[in-house]
Structure 1
Amino acid sequence: MTAAIPLPVIAAVLGAALLHATWNALVKGRAGQGDPLLPTVLVVAGGALASAVLLPFLAAPQPASWPFIAASSLTQTVYYLLLIATYQHGDMSHAYPLMRGTAPLLVAVFNGILLGEHLSGAQWLAVCLICGGVLAMLLAARRPSAQQPHGQRRATLFALATACVIALYTMIDGAGVRRSGAPAAYTMWIFLLTGVAVCAWSARGRMRALAALARARPLLLPVGGVSTLGSYGIALWAMTLAPVAAIAALRETSILFATAIAALFLRERVGRGRLLAAGLIACGAITMRLA
């Protein structure tokens, strides 16, 4: 599968990246002041609720895909628990680019070994440009600080572990969705099962705080939930039509959209380093189209 990715598929994945950046901006914005886990749990709950509402109207995935749904749900539950540990030890601006930039490279390497799916030279270049741009965002965001050096080292280790889990569930879903015959239902079952597990674990002792946040930000649960569900659903659909590693990398252009949202709507200062990193990501997306 080394043929050029069709333009409609690339456009859909870029739309998914925009949705991914949107729900992350909701978490990072005013809703995320204080404990960043609270808006994340609400977003996960929103995705699970949307799935529960829509699943009765969709055809069930093929039986061959159910072991992959179970494995992905378990793996994504571990992902969220690792994410919690990561953010307890370090900043989102440090951990997020590290996780999202490392995972597609792991997918590109191990997906070929495990599933026999290989990229062309130009697609490898695009993957490296996108991942390099995402990791450059990490370097641009870093500031010399004597605060909690051990915490940041722990956050780095947790972020790298999380990247491995992201790569694992991406490869599981890349194989599973192709067996499902129903990408939308496949995605929603994962979100429903993962959402139930994550909420049961993470909401303990936080119900009052979650209820208060839901009242203060009534759009966070529905908009965040639909955005995260749509983002990953589109990506899985695209994986049925193009190489998993290429789609995994292209999806990380969400960092590009997140930078634009941060500058335009959150009024964050975007320095020269982040602009150069964004340029690398954009060049990677263009290269993926031309590959």
Structure 2
Amino acid sequence: MTLTVFCILLFAALLHASWNAIVKASGDKMYAAIGVSGSAALIALVMLPFAPQPALASAPYLLASCALQVVYTVLVAAISVLFLGDRLSPLAWLGIGVICLAILAMAFNGRASSRKGIVLALINACFIAGYTLVDGTGVRLAGSALGYTLWTFFMNGFCLLCWAMVARRREASRYLRQHWKKGILGGIGTMGSYGLALWAMTQAPLAVVAALRETSILFGALIAFIVLKEQLMPLRIVAACGIAAGAILLRLA
């Protein structure tokens, strides 16, 4: 992986952590996510006429990604190596492993409620791994990372907005009117973050891209501490250092 791709991925992780902080600070995470996704869909709709269109071969992957998004890095690493022809050095595998262990340590605090949260997080990770592999394959076939990104966000945001207007019209409309500025900021952040990651998937192995995206947890912890004034427990500090160490190993691989 070149230094340029590495730095772009770290910037994408920072964007990812930033828009997640916007959602977290908004109080109602569900409606905040709807606002962010809807804003991203509108931005994508405006930009689509001016962007190169993805190749037709990527259309099934766009549809599959949309469906999937309505143990992430490990699954991506294993499947991408077995089926997509990516090759990782031992140092890259070590970096991915360090990041995975650090993420697990970040989530675990020894309480029963935390263990239940880990189970839910692992289930969620399976879906994330699914759409990462789908999008990684799709964007490589698309021939245009920008076009693929715009269509992805337009389809996902449109579907989520339609659901909100049918199932929660009154609540969603009220929230969007009150917090539309945060929605636009979050939409720009999420599009920029995932768009850069999709481009990186055309330049580097999916497993490495997936693992480096998880450095957003490190940035998220810093934002929570500095901006949201949350307390950082010792285990989270150690885990954050582990994520940073894993990122360094991936750069050296």
Tell me the TM-score normalised to structure 2 length.
0.94
- In the TM superposition, 1:10-159 aligns within 5 A as 10-29=6-25, 31=26, 33=27, 35-77=28-70, 102-139=71-108, 142=109, 144=111, 153=116, 156-159=118-121
Give the length in aligned residue pairs: 253
Alpha-carbon distance between aligned partners in 1 of 2:120 and 2:74, rounded to the nearest angstrom: 17
Alpha-carbon distance between aligned partners in 1 of 2:227 and 2:132, rounded to the nearest angstrom: 30
Alpha-carbon distance between aligned partners in 2 of 1:244 and 1:203, rounded to the nearest angstrom: 35
- In the TM superposition, 1:223-238 aligns within 5 A as 223-238=185-200
Summarize deviations over 1:96-143 as a string: whole Å, max 9, x none. xxxxxx20111011211222222110100111111111111102xx36
Percent identity, please: 42
Identify the residue that residue 252 of structure 1 maps to in structure 2.
214
Misfit runs of 4+, over 4 Å? none
The Cα shift of 1:56 comes to 0.7
CA contact (8 A) 2:164 2:172 kept: no
The Cα shift of 1:152 comes to 7.0
Alpha-carbon distance between aligned partners in 2 of 1:255 and 1:118, rounded to the nearest angstrom: 25
Tell me the TM-score normalised to structure 1 length.
0.82
Is 2:130 aligned against 1:191?
no
Summarize deviations over 1:207-258 as a string: whole Å, max 9, x none. 3322332333332111101111111100010010100010000000000000
SS at match of 1:204: helix
Alpha-carbon distance between aligned partners in 2 of 1:289 and 1:171, rounded to the nearest angstrom: 21
Alpha-carbon distance between aligned partners in 1 of 2:66 and 2:39, rounded to the nearest angstrom: 16
Summarize deviations over 1:170-196 as a string: whole Å, max 9, x none. 111111111111101101101111111
Alpha-carbon distance between aligned partners in 1 of 2:234 and 2:220, rounded to the nearest angstrom: 16
The Cα shift of 1:206 comes to 2.5
State which drifts further: 207-216 or 58-67: 207-216
Is 2:187 aligned against 1:221?
no
- In the TM superposition, 1:245-284 aligns within 5 A as 245-284=207-246
In structure 2, the CA distance between the partners of 1:157 and 1:286, relative to structure 1 (3 Å rule), is closer
**Alignment gaps of 5+ in structure 1:** 78-101
C-alpha root-mean-square deviation of aligned residues, in Å? 1.8
The Cα shift of 1:203 comes to 4.2
CA contact (8 A) 1:133 1:280 kept: yes
CA contact (8 A) 1:41 1:203 kept: no
The Cα shift of 1:15 comes to 0.6
In structure 2, the CA distance between the partners of 1:229 and 1:114, relative to structure 1 (3 Å rule), is same
**Alignment gaps of 5+ in structure 2:** none
